[in-house]
Amino acid sequence: MANVNAALLTGNEAIAAGAYKAGVHVATGYPGTPSSEILPYLARFNNAIVNWSINEKTALEIAIGASIGYKRSMFTTKHVGLNVASDPLMTLAITGVRGGIAVITADDPAMHSSQNEQDNRFYSKFAKVPMFEPSDSNECFEFTCEAFEISERFDTPVIIRTTTRISHSKSIVRTPPAYLPNMNSNLENENNSYPKPKEKTYIKDIEKFVMAPVYARKRHKIAIERLKKLQEFSNNSGINNIEYNSLDFGIITSGISYQYVKEIAPFASVLKLSFSYPIPDLLIKEFVKKVKSVIIVEELEPFIQDEISSIGINLRGKEIFNRFGELTPDMVKEGLINAGFIKKYDNKSSDKLQGKGGSSKLDSLLEKLPQRLPALCSGCPHTSVFYALKKLKVPVMGDIGCYTLGALPPLNAMDSCISMGLAFGAAQGLSLSNSSPKKIAGIMGDSTFFHSGITSLIDAKYNNACFTAIILDNSTTAMTGGQDHPGTGKNLSSGQVVSNKIDIKRVVEGIGIDEIYIIDPYNYNAVYKTLKKALSSKNLNVIITKRPCILYPCKIDLGKKFKILEGCNGCDLCMQIGCPSILNSENFLDNNKPIPFIDSSCIGCSICKDICIFNFIEEIKS
């Protein structure tokens, strides 16, 4: 890689490289798919201060502070995380910046790993801040560099909005190796290409940064005037550009949709919106005037369509394409057929996607895959807790994380999952409703507890709530790939040195909760007895389970294997914990029940052995 001027990077890696090239000084965020890889990649440069924060709001606040100190800063989040950070964002949009601020929001159309599907382009309009929408990794790199320049030039934070396909797919980034990290060294990048930020002495400016009403009213007017200048930039900068081909057919598009359009309809003229807010009104009018028939291709909501409609031009878009889920090349082709742009099967490039009978090869392959629900990993320490909760039949207010899978069959042990850190608040609310004859349980992971579960637990204590709060401490942020948090005592730019580790039990004690249980989730019988005791208590109490995630930071194998003995009566109890290592064989008992077995993926947690009341599961002795 040392002598090339191009590299194959994901969109997330390209954003990190762009931030490095731009001289970002502080980068913060909270892990969330599909944005999680940006900060770890940036940390490899070892030049900027790169840290995970306790939640998205805090992360943006740190970035704002660095900007006030004249340093460039970046904040990363997945789409729902911007909801958490929206409070500081909305006021930051009014105050403006000193050092440039890039806000990276990665949307997840089709909800591959999210609790909702939202289109964060609307945050740009809501906050009155400009937005980039890259279509590939090279644009992720270039637009991130550009975002800091625009931020400082126009005194505004800048949003860079990606989607899952852009974040995780790889394409060529044209950059000299000076802007790529040294993957084999933890030493500071030796290429000396990192632009050192200019040192400026802090100057107090309360009219800019103290948003008391008397100053906020002035700054709001400035933000509105700023939009006019940004729209002029949107029209004239060349970042939004027209590719003229046939003047009979035209498409206005952005982001990943641009790639699909170019693949399916290379004959069409295209207006590509890369700086998609504020929209380039003059450029759009020019395009529509020259091209006979124009439609809009965009994923999720009719954001571009509504903006174009607001300048008096009505074009078709969501009348043709879905308002939910991801677009695909096949869907774009179908839409263009419906729009009359192409006739069925007359496009050679897209016909490659088609199999016999008109169904895609991908669909054909998907049909052959075995149907199964997502499940907790073999040996996951959360399994025993959910199984016990199922047996106890209590309402369980859940949260965001791997443990959300506890809501699915066969565990079926979670009643809600709405937003991060909500579980304890929802448990308090449900208990106040007096609608359940049983005590309520709220459950969340360690990372979620630090993210925003702490506040609702404090509120519960303050208001004399009565429920059982369960904190599943597996010492990582597992669902997003094993990132660190205050409970692990590590972070990205500290070289993974353990320091200032925050102890959950001491936090809970500090809140004033006296009834606290610490249990090993691999001891199912202890889990069940403790839960039963806690759920019988009339107090607000807390159960903390302590076992590391079996995957992070390294895959765990306890060195034991278990087997199901001959004579098993097929009662199905072991199947009820949903362990992927326990499978039904092709052999059946006389009562036509399949005989289960444990495959080689068993890590030896022993939960199944505790659950088998007939003692048909035992450890394999070597």
When pLDDT is cut at 50, 70 and 90, the band that residue 362 belongs to is low
Q: Do domains 5-182+202-216 and 381-490+500-546 have the same CATH topology?
A: yes
Pick the more confident residue, 593 or 250.
250
User: Alpha helix locations (H) across 237-313?
Assistant: 255-264, 281-290, 303-310
pLDDT score of 191: 54
Which pLDDT does position 593 carry in this prediction?
A: 87
Count other Cβ atoms within 10 Å, centred on residue 398.
Answer: 26
Q: What band does 25 get if pLDDT is binned at 50, 70 and 90?
A: very high
Q: Which pLDDT tens digit goes with each residue over 233-252?
A: 999 999 999 999 999 999 99
User: Model confidence at 345, in pLDDT bands (50, 70, 90)?
Assistant: low
For range 251-274, the mean pLDDT: 97
The mean pLDDT of 208-227, rounded to a whole number, is 96
Confidence class of residue 187 from pLDDT cuts 50, 70 and 90? Answer: very low
What would the two tokens of residue 191 be?
């290429």
Rg, C-alpha atoms of the chain: 27
Give the mean pLDDT of 332-346: 85
* Residues of each annotated binding site: 568, 571, 574, 579, 602, 605, 608, 612
| pLDDT at residue number 299 | 97
Architecture per CATH, domain 5-182+202-216, reads as 3-Layer(aba) Sandwich (3.40)
Total length of the chain: 622
Q: Which two tokens stand for residue 254?
A: 């952005």
Residue-wise pLDDT for 432-491, tens only, equals: 999 999 999 999 999 999 999 999 999 999 999 999 999 999 999 999 999 999 999 998
Comparing C-alpha atoms, which of 23, 422, 36 is closest to residue 194?
Answer: 23
User: How far apart are alpha carbons 141 and 161 in whole angstroms?
Assistant: 13
Q: pLDDT tens, 68-121? A: 999 999 999 999 999 999 999 999 999 999 999 999 999 999 999 899 999 999
In the chain, % of residues over pLDDT 90: 83
Q: Confidence class of residue 355 from pLDDT cuts 50, 70 and 90? A: very low
Average pLDDT over residues 313-323: 96
Q: Is 372 exposed, middle or buried (0-12, 13-18, 19+ CB in 10 A)?
A: exposed
**Looking at the domain 238-339, which fold is it?**
Rossmann fold (3.40.50)
Between β-strands 101-107 and 73-78, what pairing exists: parallel, antiparallel or unpaired? parallel
The conformation of residue 577, written as its DSSP 8-state character, comes to: G
Give the least confident one: 109-123, 416-430, 491-505: 491-505
Res. 367 pLDDT band, cuts 50 70 90: confident
CATH of domain 381-490+500-546: 3.40.50.970
**pLDDT level of residue 179 (50, 70, 90 thresholds):** confident
Domain boundaries, the chain: 5-182+202-216, 238-339, 381-490+500-546, 561-620
- Binding site membership for [4Fe-4S] cluster: which residues? 568, 571, 574, 579, 602, 605, 608, 612
Reduced to 3 states (helix: H, G, I; strand: E, B; else coil), residue 594 is strand
Architecture of the CATH domain 561-620: 2-Layer Sandwich (3.30)
